[in-house]
Amino acid sequence: MSQAESPPVRRLADWDHDRLSRLADDHGTPLYVLDVDRVKANYRRFAAAFPDAHVMYAAKAHTGQAVLSGLLEVGADIECAAAGELQRAIEAGADPDTLQYTAVNPPDSDLDYAVDLAADNPGLTITGGARDTFDRLEARGYDGRVAIRINPGIGTGHHEKVATGKDAKFGIPYDEVPDLATEVAERFDLVGIHAHAGSGVLHDDLDNHCEAIAKVAEMGRAVEDRVGGLDFVDFGGGFGVPYREDEEPLDMQVVGEKVRDAIGDLDAQTKLEPGRYVVADAELILTDVNTVKETPATTVVGVDASLATLIRPAMFDSYHPIRNVSAPDREAHPVSIGGPCCTSADVFCTDRPIARPEREELLAIGNAGAYGYELANQFHSQPRPAEVAIEDGETRVVRRRETMEDVLRVERDR
């Protein structure tokens, strides 16, 4: 897909509804539908806005093998936040020497895996966000490539739970970084500093986000003055996509200019780590209507997807667009849509105008690519859904639907 054929946002109405109906018939619901071509196009658009930067995909947004392998095909490197993500990236074909592991309070097993991996792949970079992490690495005999994660004290994004730049959990306090950098450079090969201010940044948040970026760049220059040159300064990701129909997508050329102005002169290479921007609008969920109940308060529409399928509305109060695939042109009525879980949190929308669904009709829940399947779970002993991928006009199952045998296996195979 060329840049001209790749619009800056993909709305639910842009999907082929006939094809979605066939996929639901063939594979059942709930069903994740992933457009790998869209994933690649989103990455290319982002990279084109930052031609001089090293762009790495933040795997935590979606670690599916179809996503990772597709991005590797178009030249992306992978940033991982856990040992399991390192393993999944390698399984998808990533060269371990190109990986970056950003440790957040890493368990011993994660550090053991990363250190063992680096022994044969010295290009691997391990990012530490606590003094303890560097002590634990040294105790394991590691003296290779490291980066320091800093806390800029500025958080941005769509929800307080993702505003990592001001959360004490993430990174070294800003004023402590220069002294720590001097210590770390004596013990390891200090190659960079890293920060991530938040997630889901759109135009209204961009100035605040650039303020955080400028602060990180300033620290990059200060660290270089202390310890000499760095390979990179990593500004993380955070660039959002519009979930609501009336929100405008980022103009990436404008974003690129603003980010470069915020960074200023910097000898080290700029690194950026888009995650949500690459995958959010490249995937949706198909779900069948099983119940329509009129009440004095609202019309309740029950579906077979639930917070076990997509937990973001319950966890972050997130808005996801919803469309009646079976009858998109029917008159819209306010409805509340929820799943089969026994909790009031299992609701996808409340009193939202949607082409009024009827039983056995098909709905689509949009922008499910980022932290969708990643956060799927087995609450109420619900097997996780299947996932199909569309690429180059072909469709394939990339994750089969779990069965109750899968749910019970870890208890039976003790």
Rounded CA-CA distance 310/301 in Å is 17
Closest CA to 298 of 269, 246, 333, 329: 333
Who contacts 281 (Cβ-Cβ below 8 Å, separation ≥6)? 9, 10, 11, 38, 42, 241, 366, 367, 369
Residue at which a domain ends, from 245, 280, 315: 280
Domains identified in the chain, total number: 2
> For residue 181, what pLDDT is reported?
98
| Unique residue bearing structure tokens 């198909």 | 286
Rounded CA-CA distance 308/315 in Å is 11
In a domain, 90, yes or no: yes
pLDDT digits (tens, 9 = 90+) for 76-115: 999 999 999 999 999 999 999 999 999 899 999 999 999 9
Residue span of the structural domain in which 325 resides: 281-412
216 and 67 within one domain: yes
Closest CA to 194 of 166, 169, 213, 168: 213
**CATH code assigned at 405:** 2.40.37.10
Decide: 62 and 372 in contact? Cβ < 8 Å. yes
Closest CA to 165 of 200, 134, 126: 200
> For residue 119, what pLDDT is reported?
98
Cite the active site residues: 342
In a domain, 392, yes or no: yes
Residue at which a domain ends, from 258, 280, 302: 280
358 and 261 within one domain: no
Rounded CA-CA distance 199/155 in Å is 9
- Which residues of the chain are modeled with pLDDT < 70? 1-5, 155-167
Who contacts 248 (Cβ-Cβ below 8 Å, separation ≥6)? 202, 203, 242
> For residue 215, what pLDDT is reported?
94
pLDDT digits (tens, 9 = 90+) for 135-177: 999 999 999 999 999 998 875 444 344 444 445 788 999 999 9
289 and 248 within one domain: no
In a domain, 336, yes or no: yes
396 and 307 within one domain: yes
Which segments of 28-60 does DSSP mark as H helices, in order? 36-49
Task: Please give the single-letter amino acid code of residue 119.
Answer: A
How many residues would you count in the chain?
414
Q: For 165-195, give the DSSP string.
A: GG-TTSSEEGGGHHHHHHHHHHHSEEEEEE-
297 and 271 within one domain: no
**CATH code assigned at 190:** 3.20.20.10
In a domain, 29, yes or no: no
Rounded CA-CA distance 314/139 in Å is 41
Residue at which a domain ends, from 232, 257, 280: 280
In a domain, 14, yes or no: no
In a domain, 224, yes or no: yes
Rounded CA-CA distance 289/330 in Å is 16
| Unique residue bearing structure tokens 């080290």 | 268
169 and 100 within one domain: yes
> For residue 167, what pLDDT is reported?
57
